[in-house]
Amino acid sequence: MLRRAFVLAALPLSGRAQSGVLRLSVNEDYAPYSYVDQGRVLGVIPDALALVLAQALPNLKLAPLGLPWRRAQAVVQNGEADALCTFASDERRSYAEFGQQPLVTLEPHLFFRADHPRRDELSSLRERTQLKAFHLVDQRGNQWAETQFADFPQVEWVGGHDAIYRMVLAKRGDVHVALSPLVTQWRLRKLGLQAGIISVPAPYVAPAVPFHLGIRRSLPQAQEWLAAIDAQLALPRLRKQIRGIERRYAETE
């Protein structure tokens, strides 16, 4: 499979924007959407955005930087990087302008133990309120989950994705609501845990979760660049190409 490979931290962090460069800050541990492998930034998000920029803003070079997710957001907020691609929460909108068209769209799924004693009940849930009867596990700093499940009585917040699945398998939590089955299946394969955890779609939690490109408000070109990118993302042809990128990452590890 052909993938784009970007050298990690190709540009030093700096508060000053660099002409002709978009410094994209991504989660270093959210494969296959974004991750770092042997010093290279890989994933659906940098590949898809590079494709879009080549057509929307051919003179703008993409320079992705992979960091722990909390740090990846902070460097955009403080001006050390220019952009991120994620769920456009109210907090992120306070420091970044977001495009109208999503780069990718994620579909929530439930993940739980294959031998869970309430497996049939989890598989047949159809309403969000029914999920409140279970103990959820999610990653600390996941603003979508923190917003979505703020009213849930039982949520265990852990420090990383791997800890989520180990908690579920250790029976220290019932279920994880993943934004994307692509992310979770990738991680379970890497951990050798795919046989112990199953998934079912959960459209009642959220029909879809769009990931939009956000460019820091302090960058003068933010709105101009986002308008050009939105125009390309509205094209069916480009959407098809992005779906092809997602399929290629889903087919191989």
Instruction: Write the pLDDT tens digit of every residue in 7-55.
Output: 544 444 554 455 699 999 999 989 999 999 999 999 999 999 999 999 9
pLDDT tens, position by position, 143-185? 889 989 999 999 999 988 889 989 999 999 999 998 888 888 8
Residue 187 confidence class, pLDDT cut points 50, 70, 90: confident
CATH class as words, domain 6-105+210-251:
alpha beta
Query: Taking the domains of the chain in order of start, what are their residue ranges?
Result: 6-105+210-251, 108-201
Q: Tell me whether strands 40-42 and 34-37 are parallel, antiparallel or unpaired.
A: antiparallel
Average pLDDT value for residue range 210-235: 97
Residue 202: Cβ-neighbour burial (10 angstroms; 0-12, 13-18, 19+): buried
Q: How far is CA 113 from CA 203, 223, 245, in A?
A: 20, 45, 30
Beta strands in 168-235 (DSSP E): 175-178, 197-201, 209-216
Cis before 207? omega within 30: no
Higher-confidence position of 16 and 129: 129
Contact residues for 90 (Cβ-Cβ < 8 A; gap 6+):
none
* Residue 252 confidence (pLDDT): 63
Of 108, 114, 163, 157, the residue nearest 131 (C-alpha) = 108
Cα–Cα–Cα angle for 142, 144, 148, nearest 5°? Answer: 120
Strands across the sheet containing 40-42: 6-7, 40-42, 34-37, 29-30
Q: Residue 36 has what pLDDT? A: 96
Mean pLDDT of the chain: 90
| Higher pLDDT, residue 78 or 17 | 78
Query: Angle, nearest 10°, between helix axes 44-56 and 222-233?
Result: 100
pTM: predicted TM-score of the whole model, two decimal places? 0.77
Homologous superfamily in CATH for domain 108-201: Periplasmic binding protein-like II (3.40.190.10)
- For position 180, what pLDDT does the model report? 85
pLDDT bracket for residue 207 (50, 70, 90): confident
Predicted confidence band of residue 251 (pLDDT cuts 50, 70, 90): confident
């302008």: which residue's tokens?
Answer: 97
Q: Can 6-105+210-251 and 108-201 be said to share one CATH topology?
A: yes
Amino acid identity of residue 248, one-letter, is R
